[in-house]
């Protein structure tokens, strides 16, 4: 596969499947969406086929890239594990190549988003890029020397599951104290619900904004309220930003990237999140003052990064380190 | 520089300078040692010149590799920072090449040791190797696709300074809660001194072994006592091993190596250290059961890994990623 021609990228999330035709410059020429049809692999395959037929009609599509939360084998052919879908050791690519009659690549969604930011977004030209996608959890990926670094078995980049607080909050991965329990949309929502359920006067505006129903608060709601000026919400985001910065300092100690790019839904908080992160990073980086330090930038491509990256990776898959 | 010929490796520690002539198979043909002459860069240079003249006499030495704790620039020419020596932005290589009339490479000591283990020791053939050197602190390094991965600015691999316990023990780096405050020789010594200073009946044998002087206990002493069967010392090492395993699980989440090689002085504890580490690793690895997992092995080359690696790196320096 060369770099030329159009590719379709498909981003399979827990609730929706987004697809787009992506050109060589990372532009989306047309888009389509479906609800994620439950967790049955066959049903997901049917939706993928539908989307490719719809978008590919009248166009020459060279390849199809599929991004999803989860672990793909190094070869990009088999889903080892996907948290939101019932895929376990699923040879998705073989099935799909037969159905689509085109080369298909499976990619971890965070890897795909990082690739897109490196090729077309905030990470262009960086030889050691670390991308963090802050959504319900933390997605992580590295692009090193122009290749996605996926580790020995294809499952590198799970930065969100580094234990940063032994004995801390229980994580969906089963462990305790994972970074994503402190620096993610879910963490923000949880802390806001706890605050709103308390009798703190700090919580009154927050609670009023959700009609007194503390249990309905999500990270997205807190972000909205913070952007509208709510003090408690701003403090909650600041706290998440501080945890983010501490974790980035840990990653910088280990990986020494030139740049961190921060994407994902939580980034709509902008500087309310990133400024506290930068401060905490600067305060926690080991050897500060005696070393150059990575920058921290917001992602450029927004929620389409995953499908753009999946499409582009399918075009240049020979460049993915394996 | 090719791979052929003899090279001299020099390992500059806080107390001693060890040097050796190393052949293409990683064998040490002859060795020499000096005390580290304080912290004056000129005095250290003189010792290096002396050692090279002594060891090189009557031999054709192609290059000289120098390993030291600290950060070298990506080019391997300048010491950015070294904790035990007074080097700050010291253009050590230029000075030494003039004095030695041979190519000189500067390497971080942990990078050098990891390279040696990959080339000649426990890490041979591994495409994603992470080495941990447990001494007074934690040294870390990665060999990826046959190259030392040094990051964007040359300072990657500082795994020991990942914060694993926010607000925890103060670290020599200035931060709190760094991994090396929990999983190192210094951590072992500190915990043993605290235990021995208490009135715990557990501490009696330990205290008796040091003539009642709790303040003289070091990690090395605890290791010796543990190997001789002292229960409290064994428990202390087990604790350190558990912290080691937790940190390795964090590194596996991020880097997904094929193998961890554990070297450094603390490794003389052998299975007393590594078995608890393996257990804690297995218990803390995210996604366990749905992913292949890295092995954990003791290093093969012992305390000479640093000088062997520095010598070999000086021979093949074009293969160091930059």
For B110-147, the pLDDT digits (tens) are 999 999 999 999 999 999 999 999 999 999 999 999 99
Q: Do B232 and B88 share a structural domain?
A: no
Query: What is the arithmetic mean of pLDDT over B152-166?
Result: 96
Range of the domain at B25: 6-115+304-319
A12 within 8 A of A66, measured Cβ to Cβ: yes
Q: Which helix (H) or strand (E) element contains residue B238?
A: helix B231-255
Q: Do B247 and B313 share a structural domain?
A: no
The minimal CB distance from B81 to the residues A173, A178, A287 is found for A287
Nearest Cα to Cα of residue A312 among A179, A146, A177, A138: A146
B97 in any annotated domain = yes
Nearest Cα to Cα of residue A86 among A48, A43, A136: A43
* A158·B286 Cβ contact <8 A: yes
Q: Do A15 and A42 share a structural domain?
A: yes
B120 in any annotated domain = no
Which residues on chain A are in Cβ contact (under 8 Å) with B126? 152
Question: Residue A62 phi/psi, 5° resolution?
Answer: -80, -35
Tell me the CA distances in angstroms from A303 to A180, A266, B98, one per residue in order. 19, 11, 55
CB atoms within 10 A of CB A153: 19
Q: Do B135 and B73 share a structural domain?
A: no
Tell me the CA distances in angstroms from A226 to A92, A168, A239, B218, one per residue in order. 41, 26, 13, 51
CB contacts < 8 A (A, B): 142
Rounded to the nearest angstrom, the minimum Cα separation between B169 and chain A is: 14
Q: Counting beta carbons within 10 angstroms of the beta carbon of residue A220, is it exposed (0 to 12), middle (13 to 18) or buried (19 or more)?
A: middle
Look up residue A152 and give its two tokens. 């020995």
Does position B320 have pLDDT exceeding 80, yes or no? Answer: no
Q: Do A141 and A82 share a structural domain?
A: no
A253 within 8 A of B158, measured Cβ to Cβ: yes
B70 in any annotated domain = yes
Q: Which letter does DSSP use for residue A161 in this model?
A: G
CB of B257 within 8 Å of a chain A CB? The answer is yes
**Chain B residue whose CA is closest to A243:** B166
- How many whole angstroms from its chain centre is CA B194? 26
Q: Do B224 and B155 share a structural domain?
A: yes
B173 in any annotated domain = yes
CB of A290 within 8 Å of a chain B CB? The answer is yes
Q: How far apart are CA A10 and CA A99, in angstroms?
A: 15
B165-172 long-range contacts, Cβ below 8 Å, gap at least 24? B165/A165, B165/A166, B166/A164, B166/A165, B166/A246, B171/A286, B172/B83, B172/B137
* B246·A166 Cβ contact <8 A: yes
CB of A282 within 8 Å of a chain B CB? The answer is no
Q: Do A311 and A294 share a structural domain?
A: no
B191 in any annotated domain = yes
B1 in any annotated domain = no
Q: Do A134 and A36 share a structural domain?
A: no
Question: Residue A36 phi/psi, 5° resolution?
Answer: -70, 120
Q: How confident is the model at residue B3 (pLDDT cuts 50, 70, 90)?
A: low
Q: Do A87 and A212 share a structural domain?
A: no
Q: Do A250 and A217 share a structural domain?
A: yes
The larger pLDDT score, comparing residue B14 to residue B129, is at: B129
Per-residue pLDDT of chain A (322 residues; tens, 9 = 90+): 445 789 999 999 888 999 999 999 999 999 999 999 887 888 999 999 999 999 999 999 999 999 998 898 888 788 888 876 777 777 888 889 999 999 999 999 999 999 999 999 999 999 999 999 999 999 999 999 999 999 999 999 999 999 999 999 999 999 999 999 999 999 999 999 999 999 899 899 999 999 999 999 999 999 999 999 999 999 999 999 999 999 999 999 999 999 999 999 999 999 999 999 999 999 999 999 888 999 999 999 999 999 999 999 999 873 443 3
Domain count, chain A: 2
Find residues 50-79 of chain A whose CB sits inside 8 Å of chain B.
71
Q: How far apart are CA B46 and CA B59, in angstroms?
A: 20
Residues 6 or more apart whose CB falls under 8 angstroms from that of A34 comprise A16, A17, A47, A50, A51
CB of B193 within 8 Å of a chain A CB? The answer is no
Q: Do B136 and B160 share a structural domain?
A: yes
* A157·B254 Cβ contact <8 A: yes
CB neighbour burial string for A112-124, b if at least 16 within 10 angstroms, e if fewer: bbbbbbbbbbbbe
The minimal CB distance from A161 to the residues B71, B162, B286 is found for B286
B196-202 long-range contacts, Cβ below 8 Å, gap at least 24? B202/B231, B202/B232, B202/B235
Q: Do A216 and A151 share a structural domain?
A: yes
pLDDT at position A91: 83
The domain that contains B199 carries what CATH number?
A: 3.30.420.40
A211 in any annotated domain = yes
B65 in any annotated domain = yes
Q: How far apart are CA B230 and CA A155, in angstroms?
A: 41
Tell me the CA distances in angstroms from A292 to A283, A295, B69, B151, one per residue in order. 14, 10, 18, 11
Q: Which letter does DSSP use for residue A286 in this model?
A: T
**Chain B residue whose CA is closest to A289:** B81
């Amino acid at each position: 596969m060369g770099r030329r021609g159009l590719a379709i990228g498909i981003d399979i999330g827990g609730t929706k499947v987004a697809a787009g035709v992506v050109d060589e410059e990372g532009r989306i020429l047309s888009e389509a969406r479906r609800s994620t049809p439950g967790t049955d692999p066959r049903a997901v395959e049917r939706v993928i086929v539908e989307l490719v037929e719809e978008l590919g009609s009248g166009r020459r599509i060279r390849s199809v890239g599929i991004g999803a939360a989860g672990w793909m084998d190094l070869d990009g052919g088999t889903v080892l594990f996907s948290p939101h879908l019932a895929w376990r050791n699923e040879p998705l690519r073989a099935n799909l190549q037969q159905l689509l009659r085109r080369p298909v690549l499976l990619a971890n969604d965070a890897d795909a988003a990082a690739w897109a930011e490196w090729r077309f977004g905030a990470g262009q030209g960086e030889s050691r890029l670390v991308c963090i996608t802050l959504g319900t959890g933390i997605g992580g990926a590295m692009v090193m020397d122009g290749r996605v670094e996926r580790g020995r078995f294809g499952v590198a980049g799970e930065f969100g599951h580094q234990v940063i607080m032994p004995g801390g909050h229980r994580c969906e991965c089963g462990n305790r104290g994972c970074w994503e329990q402190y620096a993610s949309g879910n963490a923000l929502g949880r802390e806001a619900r706890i605050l709103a359920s308390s009798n703190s006067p700090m919580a009154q505006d927050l609670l009023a904004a959700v009609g007194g129903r503390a249990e309905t608060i999500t990270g997205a709601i807190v972000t909205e309220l913070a952007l509208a000026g709510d003090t408690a919400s701003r403090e909650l985001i600041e706290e998440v930003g501080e945890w983010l910065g501490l974790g980035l300092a840990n990653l910088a100690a280990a990986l020494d990237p030139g740049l961190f790019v921060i994407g994902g839904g939580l980034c709509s908080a902008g500087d309310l999140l990133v400024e506290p992160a930068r401060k905490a990073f600067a305060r926690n980086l080991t050897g500060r003052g005696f070393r150059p330090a990575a920058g921290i930038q917001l992602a450029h491509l927004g929620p389409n990064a995953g499908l753009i990256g999946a499409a582009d990776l399918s075009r240049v898959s020979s460049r993915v380190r394996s």
